[in-house]
Structure 1
Amino acid sequence: MDPHSQMQAAWAHIITTYKPGVVEFMGILLTQIIGFIFPATLYMLIDILFPKFSQRHKIQDARRQPTRQQIQHCIKVCLYNHVWILAFHFVLTSIRGFNHAHLNLDPTVPSLTTFLVDFAFGLLAREISFYYIHRALHHPRIYVHIHKMHHKYATPVAFTAEYAHPVEHLLANVLPITLPLYLKGAHFLSIMAFSLFELWEAAADHSGYDFLKLPPAELHGLHHEKFRVNYGTIGLMDWLHGTDRVGWDRPKTKQVKIAE
């Protein structure tokens, strides 16, 4: 039996055994744990278990790394953001007795081509939406009330990816990943697969390590260090808008010709 047929058989068993709301909620819960909490924890364990390797591959200087107390506080806030999103979804599905799902639980598993198309669409849509939302959060009138909290950690660690004000967590972390594919009518499995990648990418982007070049953690590490640079996730929108280099917002000095 080929992998697609095996996935189809497993999916058919799941949706015929459990209520749609239960399938949806458990899928979202597992995606959060596997996609973000588990890899973020592994990144943090590198500091403890392999200190020499950690020091060799940290993007920013060791003296700028957050303290243990700061990291513990970060993890608590991060987990709180996960819990309230899950609790909100649990309430929405439980009201209807878990008999209905909000996402597309089609009994037919999408083909590999459909998965790839959904992934490419989600990647582009997330890059565009996140870039503009992120830049808006840097507006002086908004930044101090919402986004400043995320930039408390000038030297990021994996869990700082979701260390954010609840409004920012919803607008910048959750919706750019899930809403475009939801509006497209993508299959729940496509949304789960894409969310798994994006959650891992967020943890890797904020990990502070350079040993993985995809995603390029240096880009977002520089954003936390310098603030007004690299607002996107993959660099496309920053390249288009010229915000991919430090000093893009400074007035250019005019060169004065000196007569000989």
Structure 2
Amino acid sequence: MDVFLDVLDTVVLDRCYAFLSPDPTAVYQNETITAIHLNRHVNVYYPLQPSKWAEASLWKRDDLSRQALSLLFAMIMYLLGSLVLYHTLFDKRLMRHPRFLAHQIKLEINQGISAIPVITLLTIPFFLAEIRGWSKLYDFTSESPFFGYTLLQYPLFICFTDSAIYWIHRGLHHPLVYSWLHKPHHKWAVPTPFASYAFHPLDGWSQSLPYHIFPMIFPLQKSAYLGLFVFVTIWTVLIREFPCPVLLILENITKKENKCLHLTFADDAEYLPGSIIINGASCHTMHHLYFNYNYGQFTTAWDRLGGTYRKPKGDAFMEGQERDEKAAKKLN
């Protein structure tokens, strides 16, 4: 997170804080400012040329409260990202699905906006630990614990988080906690991009814990962490929460089929059977429809081991939509 925050400060936040809390003695020059001076608490992995507003605020970059507040930027990213994805990749036919709720998008946004600040506040201690150098994150490949770990860290991260999230998610379905903690997310039987953070705050935070615990236990290169962070975000929003043709490509890689697939953005990946290995949108849909199946995050391995795997099947409504559209095209 120190790299992420350095980029965020340089590109956006330095100017914002200079406007909100200006330093009357500030000199708007960056020739004599160094990244090390601005980030005294960390070794900056990708030192950027500071902006001219870097020292223009009374609230300096290494101030603990400023760092905590900066991480609330996640709410803006959620709204903008979901809006872009809704207007580009989301299949609008799903809004006619009988399981799609009235005013659902508004309800998803309201729940997401109310959840994100709480999730962020609960997560800030982990981010601050990373920024302050209290985790096992390291800067350069030469600092890896042994030869080959640079490649090993990726499958190790996936295996660790996949296992941990399976058991956390399965625990959230226990009768003692399901009704008040996890049930709000299951309101969205047909989720849109805005449902990616539409959780009870403790629910969303608990399922994100493995990502933050991993670098506290295992060494992880900072650039790898950023890449995995982006990957997890894309997986959560693009793949698990709404139809995307990319999923069909990922899922069908593992199928024993020799025929080519014709894919377009109109394909309803959410409701098509997928891979028996990758826990994609089709598996996640079965979870929303039948509740006690397919708890996994990336693979179906733990569902198979735990006896909670349910093979995806087609959705009658969406299959009917496909047939009607094909019939209309033939008539035209």
Root-mean-square deviation (Å): 3.9
| Pairing 1:231–2:295 present | yes
2:140 is aligned, of 98, 108, 114, to 108
Alignment of 1:14-53 (within 5 A): 17-20=38-41, 29=71, 32=74, 39-46=81-88
What is aligned with 2:286? 222
Residues 99 and 168 of structure 1, relative CA distance in 2, 3 Å threshold: closer
- Amino acid of the residue matched to residue 204 of structure 1? L
- Amino acid of the residue matched to residue 229 of structure 1? Y
CA contact 2:135–2:216 (8 Å) conserved in 1: yes
Structure with the largest fraction of helix: 1
- Amino acid of the residue matched to residue 147 of structure 1? H
- Give per-residue Cα distances to partners, 1:99-121, cap 9 Å, x unaligned: 83444564435789545322211
1:183 deviation in Å? 1.1
| Pairing 1:200–2:234 present | yes
CA contact 2:100–2:190 (8 Å) conserved in 1: yes
- Amino acid of the residue matched to residue 225 of structure 2? I
- Give per-residue Cα distances to partners, 1:99-155, cap 9 Å, x unaligned: 834445644357895453222111111111111111111111111121111111111
1:197 deviation in Å? 0.8
What is aligned with 2:310? 245
Query: Which structure's CA Rg is the greater one?
Result: 2
CA contact 2:116–2:201 (8 Å) conserved in 1: no
1:93 deviation in Å? 7.9
2:190 is aligned, of 131, 152, 155, to 155
CA contact 1:156–1:208 (8 Å) conserved in 2: yes
- Amino acid of the residue matched to residue 205 of structure 1? I
- Give per-residue Cα distances to partners, 1:20-60, cap 9 Å, x unaligned: 4758959x94995898665533331137xx8xx643xx5x9
The 3-state SS of whatever aligns with 2:296 is coil
Worse-matched range after superposition: 186-195 or 33-42: 33-42
What is aligned with 2:243? 209
| Pairing 1:136–2:171 present | yes
Q: Percent identity?
A: 22
| Pairing 1:184–2:218 present | yes
CA contact 2:138–2:219 (8 Å) conserved in 1: no
Question: Structure 2, unaligned stretches of length 5 or more?
Answer: 1-33, 43-60, 251-277, 312-332
- Give per-residue Cα distances to partners, 1:191-239, cap 9 Å, x unaligned: 2221211111111233331522236211111211121211111211112
TM-score (norm 2): 0.55
What is aligned with 2:97? 62
- Give per-residue Cα distances to partners, 1:227-256, cap 9 Å, x unaligned: 12111112111122231116xxxxxxxxxx
TM-score (norm 1): 0.68
